[in-house]
């Protein structure tokens, strides 16, 4: 990024984070929870939301401690140069893996609902190439695009939700408050795939117009949790926990039941898919940009488009490694539990502790002088 030419407001940052989190993860979230816990799925989601809130609070704290600094420079200050390179490599591997899984799920959905005869390889490459173009433009353009997409997607989603409520049976949510703490802890990891991507705040924090307002990014988490809660309650009240286990993408099935008087159901599907495609693009683009920024930091190579094209090769390979959709979700679940948790929680936590210790030592040295 080039100094203060690539600046975003806190509102743009919030929009980016909301759109980054909401994409392919929400499609299967109700089913994954139904497979793990028998009831009170909404409680599991709320507990997971509190965990994510604490996680994003760490990001906001880091941004506040190092206003205007790029994340790689913060890593260098906190972990030393060798440690920063190791952490940066972990982030690159993380983004390659995450984008690969998101791209594959996107391709599978598009192939089922829209482009039945189109090879999934073509679908995957198409979305990735479009994200390369955006990665050349930087964070500021991404912020403006997010501010444009979010209101449109919000209006369409609210309308579809309200229409879907006509077929709900809230008795399917019973019993309530019967889940044990052990079951909650078992279910929380299953939700984390749906929250990945919020760590891009660390990579875009150096571009914030007012870094001192970074704590406002917690609002993005609240919006995402409320949206997921609405999806979860609507899906379970309509399908019930037993039928939910047999649905591949319950969220899409939920919106497929919407019937707008005067329109054919296919028109509703097109509306749903159009909104969802925008959401997925708004997820992959920030992840891609964050990965490209990280690669640029450790290589010193200035052409972001070339770096993005370099990453495309590995992302494309990851997107095609799983043999089928079941393998995609199995691999993504393992990736989230064992690797992503280190990158999105472990590394920032170590960075924050290191920065706070350094700050305290500086204050102690200043008082002793």
Q: Is 98 among the domain residues? A: yes
Of residues 278, 241, 271, 245, the one with CA closest to residue 256: 271
Q: How many residues does the chain have?
A: 369
Cis peptide leading into residue 168 (ω within 30°) = no
Number of domains in the chain: 1
Q: Is 304 among the domain residues? A: yes
What is the distance between the alpha carbons of residues 192 and 21, in angstroms, rounded to a whole number? Answer: 10
Sign of CA dihedral 18, 19, 20, 26: positive
Cβ-contact 208, 53 below 8 angstroms: no
What is the distance between the alpha carbons of residues 70 and 139, in angstroms, rounded to a whole number? Answer: 12
Q: Is 268 among the domain residues? A: yes
What is the pLDDT at residue 2? 43
Residues of the domain holding 15: 3-358
Q: Is 94 among the domain residues? A: yes
Q: Is 363 among the domain residues? A: no
3-state SS assignment for residue 246: coil
What is the pLDDT at residue 277? 87
Q: Is 322 among the domain residues? A: yes
Residue 210 neighbours by CB distance under 10 Å: 11
What is the pLDDT at residue 3? 44
Q: Is 365 among the domain residues? A: no
Q: Domain containing 313 — which CATH number?
A: 1.20.1740.10
Q: Is 101 among the domain residues? A: yes
What is the pLDDT at residue 259? 65
**pLDDT tens, residue order, the chain (369 aa):** 444 568 999 999 999 999 999 877 788 889 989 999 888 999 999 999 999 999 999 999 999 999 999 999 999 999 999 999 999 999 999 999 999 999 999 999 999 888 889 999 999 999 999 888 887 788 999 999 999 999 988 888 888 888 777 778 888 888 888 899 999 998 898 888 889 999 999 999 999 999 999 999 999 999 999 999 999 998 999 888 889 988 888 888 887 766 666 554 455 677 788 888 888 888 999 999 999 999 999 998 878 888 989 999 999 999 999 989 999 999 998 898 889 999 999 999 999 999 999 988 887 776 655
């Amino acid at each position: 990024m080039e100094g203060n030419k690539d600046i975003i407001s806190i509102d743009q940052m919030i929009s980016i984070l909301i759109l980054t989190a909401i994409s392919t993860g929400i499609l299967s979230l109700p089913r994954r929870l139904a497979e793990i816990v028998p009831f009170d799925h909404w409680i599991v989601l709320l507990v997971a939301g509190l965990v994510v809130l604490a996680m994003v609070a760490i990001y906001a704290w880091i941004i506040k401690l190092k206003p205007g600094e790029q994340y790689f420079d913060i890593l260098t200050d906190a972990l030393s140069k060798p440690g920063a390179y190791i952490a940066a490599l972990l982030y690159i591997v993380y983004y390659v893996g995450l984008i690969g899984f998101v791209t594959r799920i996107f391709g599978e959905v598009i192939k089922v609902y829209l482009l039945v005869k189109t090879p999934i390889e073509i679908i995957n490459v198409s979305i990735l190439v479009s994200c390369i173009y955006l990665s050349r433009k930087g964070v500021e353009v991404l912020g403006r695009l997010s501010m444009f997409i979010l209101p449109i997607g919000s209006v369409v989603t609210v309308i579809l939700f309200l229409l879907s409520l006509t077929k709900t049976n809230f008795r399917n949510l019973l019993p309530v408050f019967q889940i044990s703490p052990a079951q909650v802890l078992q279910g929380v990891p299953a939700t984390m795939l749906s929250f990945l991507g919020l760590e891009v705040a660390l990579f875009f924090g150096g571009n914030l117009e007012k870094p001192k307002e970074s704590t406002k990014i917690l609002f993005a988490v609240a919006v995402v949790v409320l949206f997921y809660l609405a999806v979860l309650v609507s899906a379970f009240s309509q399908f019930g926990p037993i039928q939910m286990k047999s649905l591949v993408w319950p969220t899409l099935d939920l919106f497929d039941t919407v019937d707008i008087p005067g329109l054919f159901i296919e028109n509703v599907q097109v509306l749903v898919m159009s909104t969802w495609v925008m959401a997925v693009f708004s997820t992959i683009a920030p992840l891609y940009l964050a990965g490209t920024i990280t690669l640029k930091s450790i290589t010193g190579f200035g052409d972001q488009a070339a770096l993005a094209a370099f990453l495309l090769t590995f992302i494309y390979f990851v997107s095609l490694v799983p043999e089928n959709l079941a393998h995609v979700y199995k691999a993504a679940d393992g990736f989230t539990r064992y690797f992503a948790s280190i990158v999105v929680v472990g590394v920032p936590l170590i960075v924050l502790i290191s920065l706070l210790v350094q700050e305290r030592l500086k204050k102690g040295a200043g008082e002793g002088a």
